Structure 1
Amino acid sequence: MDGPLLAPDERLGDATRTSALPAGPAEFFADLGNMSVALPVLALTLAYVTWRTRQWFPALVALVTMALVPALVVPLQAGLARPGPPPMAPATGFFPSGHTATAAVAYGLCVLLLRAVFRTRATAHGCVVVNAAVGLGLVRQGYHWPVDVVGSWCLAVLLLTAAAWAISRSRRRSSSGTPRR
């Protein structure tokens, strides 16, 4: 692999891995990107918001959006075959980061869904902080390069934008009295 971002990406990744950032908290935040953590958080949010709002369409949008994460990430990883950082190399399939995409989309969907119940920006700010910590933890622990994380954030923005559009459209229809299909 070669390109203009390769050298700066490797320098930043190496600097982060060898930095004084504590490994314990970095591993904790990296683990927040695991499906075994992010999916139960999303499931609890789905259940709570569906129960509170009595609307099932936002939950359906969230489920489809979350299902798109592995459907998009796995083929990209296989096709691009980017080698991982030193502890993981020569293994390939690190771009985009599946853990970062899982965390960003799952926790982003939680924020989108909770907007129907709580009218606050604190959840969005918390989501950004958690996802930044997940990305930093993944790079610090040597699981991914920085560009792997940034690529997943870009993918998450696309998926969350589409989900937000679908959810807001359904809420506008249901609040205007127009019958939904």
Structure 2
Amino acid sequence: MRETHRPRETAGDSGPELPRRRPGRASAHGTGASGSGTPHRSDGRPPHTPRGARQPGPAGHPGTTPPVPGWPASLVLAPLVALFGLITWQVAADGPLVRLDERLGESLFRRGPAALTQLFSDLGGVPVALPVLVCAIAYALWRGARRLPVYAALTMAAVPALVIPLKVATARQGPLTEAVNYYPSGHTATAAVAYGASALLLLAVDRPA
């Protein structure tokens, strides 16, 4: 067997020579040409890591740059406004939706527990819902929030300004009564704004450590 020839170290060598980087090669995680630190390969092939091949999502979706937490508020609000407009049109025109609502109300009359229905009715009243919102606003102010409590108070103040004119314009007759001005429901609007705004305030403010 032949012995493999190995270069001998001279007395002036301080140790084995470090490997030299070959020209024209780049590691998969090398710094880009602009110094941005983006993973790349010098030969144009995609990097080994899947991170470099990831593409951001379309505008308005999570994954965009900068990141967006979800759908824009306008896309969520528009269908709700359209649905409310459709129901209001049916009420004003005495459409088939009104007759369906009347038949459903007559079939459900006195079939549920009276105590539970009265509880839900009381929860939508101003004497109950408004103090809940006031407590949430006070807590948010105490935690240092400024704009959100103002927005919540203005939204609550806008409820009668929007509901009362619609009640008068539609003159909707109430269930099992000859009285009118029952649409839209003031209890429903009050409960939705008061409890919804209270929940948003409690979720938005910083919690004590």
TM-score normalised by L of structure 2? 0.52
Q: 1:16 aligns with which of 97, 100, 108?
A: 108
Task: Tell me, in whole angstroms, the C-alpha distance in 1 between the residues paired with 2:175 and 2:206.
Answer: 40
Structure 2: runs of 5 or more not aligned = 1-92
TM-aligned CA deviation for residue 118 of structure 1: 7.0
Q: Is the 8 A contact 2:130 2:194 kept in 1?
A: yes
What one-letter code is carried by the residue in structure 1 that aligns with 2:115? G
Map 1:101-180 onto structure 2 (within 5 A).
Answer: 101-117=189-205
What's the counterpart of residue 117 of structure 2? 26
TM-aligned CA deviation for residue 50 of structure 1: 1.4
What's the counterpart of residue 79 of structure 1? 169
**Would you say 1:40 and 2:131 are equivalent positions?**
yes
What's the counterpart of residue 98 of structure 1? 186
Larger RCO, structure (CA 8 Å, separation 6 or more): 1
What one-letter code is carried by the residue in structure 1 that aligns with 2:136? T
Over 2 Å off, 4+ runs: none
| More helix by percentage | 1
What's the counterpart of residue 56 of structure 1? 146
Aligned length: 115
Q: What secondary structure is seen at the aligned counterpart in 2 of 1:10?
A: helix
Q: What secondary structure is seen at the aligned counterpart in 1 of 2:182?
A: coil
TM-aligned CA deviation for residue 11 of structure 1: 1.4
Q: Is the 8 A contact 2:145 2:205 kept in 1?
A: no
Task: Tell me, in whole angstroms, the C-alpha distance in 2 between the residues paired with 1:9 and 1:28.
Answer: 22
Structure 1: runs of 5 or more not aligned = 120-181
Task: Tell me, in whole angstroms, the C-alpha distance in 2 between the residues paired with 1:77 and 1:16.
Answer: 24
Change (3 A) 1:2 1:61: same
> What do residues 143-164 of structure 1 show as CA deviations (whole Å, max 9, x unaligned)?
xxxxxxxxxxxxxxxxxxxxxx
- Which is greater in Rg? 2
